[in-house]
Amino acid sequence: MQPSTIGVTVQGYNANTVIDAVYVHTDNNYTTTEKTKLAALNTAAQMPTGGTAGQILSKIDGTDYNTTWIDNYATQVKLQVKNATGSTINKGSVVYISGASGANALISLAQANSEMTSSSTIGLLESTLTTGSSGLVIVTGVISGVDTSAAVDGDPAYLSPTVAGGIVYGVANKPKAPNHLVYLGTVTRAHATVGEIQIRVANGYELDELHDVQITSPTANDFLVRNGSNLWVNQSPATARTSLGLGTAATTNSTAYATAAQGAKADTALQPSAIGTTVQAWDADLDIWSTKTAPSGTVVGTTDSQALTNKTIDFASNTLTGVASTSTSQTLTNKTLTNVVLSGSITEGVAALATSGTIALNATNATIQTCAAAGTITFTDSLTSGQSIVLMLTNGASYTINYPTITWVGPNGNAAPALSAANTLVF
């Protein structure tokens, strides 16, 4: 040692500097308890060999200090929550944040039938929580030990709109409006007791929650129109028609336009309901008539009657079916003859009536009718205006003869004639 080192590399002597023997120890000076503690510190300080930059230590099992190097990632993200609903919430139930108590988020069962109970869905409860107790909600990651027997591996999981805290599986069961769509994750193991779901909550959006949609006081039948500010806005039908340049065409009732089958405006095109009402239904006979020239005046059918006045029928140049020639006779039925001049004799028809009972005086029988009374007779009136008959009654004095209510014209005034063995009465 050189004098120059004193006070530089070694401590210079000082009467106040004393090295207490109590603080100078060798291994043999430690107690057994101290040695155990030192050994534990030495073991804990011995990290496992290997590893790469950025890796972290992870416990392998429950053995003290049994660790290994792993990549720096988390398999689950969990949130500390509290159940203050007043009821037990079971493991695997879907929950949403319904409030807070101090530093604790309060949870309730989520359900997809309303905005309030679905929009704040946070995840699935890791373990059953009685009311008033705290636990963890798995926000992201795998939850195990749940019943997924209603699903198949790979099924998407959605928040149930009918069961509070429940899950529905598969695209076919995906909730539709007016229910709310909340995607919960994917079934990675379908099983009744050890099922697994990879949780990744994604809440569906309302239309007015999109960043380029601006909905203001929506009403029924509103249109969604892109405006000059690059926003989709709701507009009333009248405003939307102006925005789209439709004018009044869009307000015209659809019945004013033709269908594709009609091919013309409906107010001019033939409508099916008009056929047989305002237009003639097709008939084969009409095809024949279409080639004919319609006569002037009133046209009558073959069964109609018509008064012929000042008409000339040329038998030489016309063939008349069912009409007698000038040299033959014909029976005219339901014909009206005007300004008729009869020449020659006229032969009237004669009909014999019954001899007793009720007898109708009917001109259709004949213009001359005979009746030989053989008992009480009651005549009834079956004549119409303009008709007349001659009744030749015999034996009338021998029997009771009853007449209809009529006005008599004769030598006795308005009184029935006195009958004899033979009488001729004109009705």
DSSP 151-204: S-TT-EEEE-SSSTT-EEESGGG---TTS--EEEEEEEE--SSSEEEEEEEEE-
pLDDT reading at 375 higher than 60 = yes
DSSP state of 22: G
Q: Where are the domains of the chain?
A: 1-54, 76-204, 209-246, 350-426
In the chain, the amino acid numbered 17 is T
Residues with Cβ within 8 Å of residue 175, at least 6 apart in sequence: 112, 158, 159, 160, 161, 168, 181, 182
Is 181:216 a contact under the CB 8 Å cutoff?
A: no
Choose from 17-26, 272-281, 349-358 the range with maximum mean pLDDT: 349-358
Which of 21-35, 98-112, 207-221 is the least confident region?
Answer: 21-35
Beta partners for residue 167, in sequence order: 159
Residue 34 is predicted with a pLDDT of 78
Strands 401-402 and 422-426: unpaired
Coil vs helix vs strand at 366? coil
Q: Is 163 within 8 Å of 128 (Cβ atoms)? A: no
Cis bond before residue 178 (omega within 30° of 0): yes
CA atoms within 13 A on the CB side of 177: 4
Which amino acid is present at 332? L
Average pLDDT, the chain: 82
Q: Give the full edge-to-edge strand order of the sheet including 357-361.
A: 357-361, 377-381, 401-402
419 is written with which tokens? 């009958």
- Work out the pLDDT band at 114, boundaries 50, 70, 90: very high
Query: Which residue from 337, 366, 334 is spatially nearest to 353, judged by alpha carbons?
Result: 366
Token representation of residue 270: 């033939």
Interval 159-217: pLDDT, tens = 999 999 999 999 999 999 999 999 999 999 999 999 999 999 999 888 888 888 899 99
* pLDDT, tens digit, 9 for 90 and up, residues 402-414: 988 888 887 777 8
Read off the pLDDT of residues 47-65 as tens digits, 9 standing for 90 and up. 788 888 888 888 888 888 8
